[in-house]
């Protein structure tokens, strides 16, 4: 009997040691993945391979410097109607992502500022903070847009893809001078979408990695991920309008993000939901409808008209969902 107890004890200790080693390995991998998700090294990041010229658009290279001293790269496409739209790419992407949407809006006469943020494209920095630091970037671009000749400072809108959409909502909530916002596949909050995003960007299962990656990310950033919550900001846009685009087959952010943002927003608000579309795919999958709805929305709200006239214009389009 004593021999059996000895064998059982050895097995238990071995199993405990294996469990401990596995736990350490899991925690260590979560830390490494958190670093990877928060870092976009200059040597390996995505940069533009096309320019507005490839889409038939005149442009010039531009740059701004943020309040904390980072240089950011962008493109400026001149327009003819006096209004301007700032186009902001998504997470670990680059300006070229926005070129098709820029081409569509340029046909409607808009000046375009195709921006990049810290830790992306050819801009300075390597750390991504999901809006905690990037508001300085958005502000630098907005102030630059207001200074451009031929642009009416009170007719500037924001259009962002994914993280860019969240940044647009967050910045517009703090800056009443933003006239209108389009958020293309924006996540409602980082906490809502972290499990799905972890699977997409790392290939790891949400459990146990998502909560561990969240812990390490919060430790690295020195902030609670719960602070990155567009449902808290979007209500501050009213009476300025917001248009939300969300696909039902999104595998990057929770498909319910668009509905959660829509519920949290004040009027005027519009949600374009397509059950069969994936992440940030509206302009490529449905270009003609995208032009009619998105450019039509901006035509209504960035034109030099009263808010009442703009609301009547939007209602007359007959495309918005209740």
We report the CATH number of the domain holding residue 176 as: 3.40.50.1820
Helices 2-38 and 190-202, interaxial angle, to 10°? 100
- Within-domain flag for 5: no
Question: What pLDDT is attached to residue 13?
Answer: 55
- Within-domain flag for 239: yes
Model pTM score: 0.89
Contact 160, 130 (CB under 8 A): no
Q: Which residue has the higher pLDDT, 206 or 89?
A: 89
Query: Hey, how many other C-beta atoms are within 10 angstroms of the C-beta on 153?
Result: 14
- Within-domain flag for 3: no
Q: Which domain holds residue 117?
A: 50-189+228-317
Chain segment 154-186, per-residue pLDDT in tens: 999 999 999 999 999 999 999 999 999 999 999
Residue 17 in this model has a pLDDT that exceeds 60: no
- Within-domain flag for 269: yes
Contacts of 126 (CB under 8 A, 6+ apart): 39, 40, 41, 42, 119
Question: What pLDDT is attached to residue 245?
Answer: 98
- Within-domain flag for 19: no
Q: Which residue has the higher pLDDT, 180 or 7?
A: 180
Number of structural domains in the chain: 1
Q: Which of 296, 293, 295, 244 lies closest to 265 in space, CA to CA?
A: 244
Contact 64, 144 (CB under 8 A): yes
- Within-domain flag for 44: no
- Within-domain flag for 222: no
Chain segment 51-74, per-residue pLDDT in tens: 999 999 999 999 999 999 999 999
- Within-domain flag for 41: no
Residue 194 in this model has a pLDDT that exceeds 60: yes
Contact 80, 74 (CB under 8 A): no
Residue 203 in this model has a pLDDT that exceeds 90: no
């Amino acid at each position: 009997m004593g021999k059996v107890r000895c064998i059982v004890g050895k097995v238990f200790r071995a199993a405990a040691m294996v469990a401990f080693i596995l736990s350490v390995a899991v925690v260590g991998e979560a830390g490494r993945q958190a670093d990877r998700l928060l870092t976009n090294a200059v040597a390996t990041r995505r940069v533009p391979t096309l320019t507005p010229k490839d889409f038939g658009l005149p442009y010039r290279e531009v740059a701004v410097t943020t309040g904390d001293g980072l240089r950011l790269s962008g493109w400026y496409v001149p327009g003819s109607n006096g209004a301007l739209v700032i186009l902001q790419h998504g997470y670990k992407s680059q300006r070229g992502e926005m070129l098709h949407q820029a081409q569509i809006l340029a046909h409607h006469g808009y000046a375009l500022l195709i921006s990049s943020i810290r830790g992306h494209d050819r801009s300075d920095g390597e750390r991504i903070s999901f809006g905690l630091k990037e508001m300085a970037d958005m502000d630098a671009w907005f102030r630059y847009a207001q200074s451009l000749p031929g642009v009416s400072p009170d007719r500037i809108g924001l259009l962002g893809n994914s993280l860019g959409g969240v940044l647009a909502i967050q910045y517009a909530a703090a800056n009443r001078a933003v006239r209108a916002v389009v958020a293309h596949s924006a996540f409602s909050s980082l906490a809502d979408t972290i499990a799905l995003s972890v699977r997409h960007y790392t290939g790891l299962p949400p459990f146990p990695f998502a909560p561990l990656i969240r812990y390490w990310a919060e430790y690295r950033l020195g902030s609670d991920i719960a602070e990155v919550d567009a449902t808290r900001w979007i209500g501050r846009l009213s009476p300025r309008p917001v248009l939300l685009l969300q696909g039902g087959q999104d595998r990057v952010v929770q498909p319910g993000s668009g509905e959660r943002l829509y519920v949290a927003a004040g009027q005027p608000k519009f949600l374009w939901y397509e059950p069969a579309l994936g992440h940030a795919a509206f302009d490529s999958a449905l270009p003609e409808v995208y032009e009619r709805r998105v450019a039509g929305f901006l035509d209504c709200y960035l034109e030099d008209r009263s808010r009442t006239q703009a609301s009547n214009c939007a209602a007359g389009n007959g495309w918005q969902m209740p």
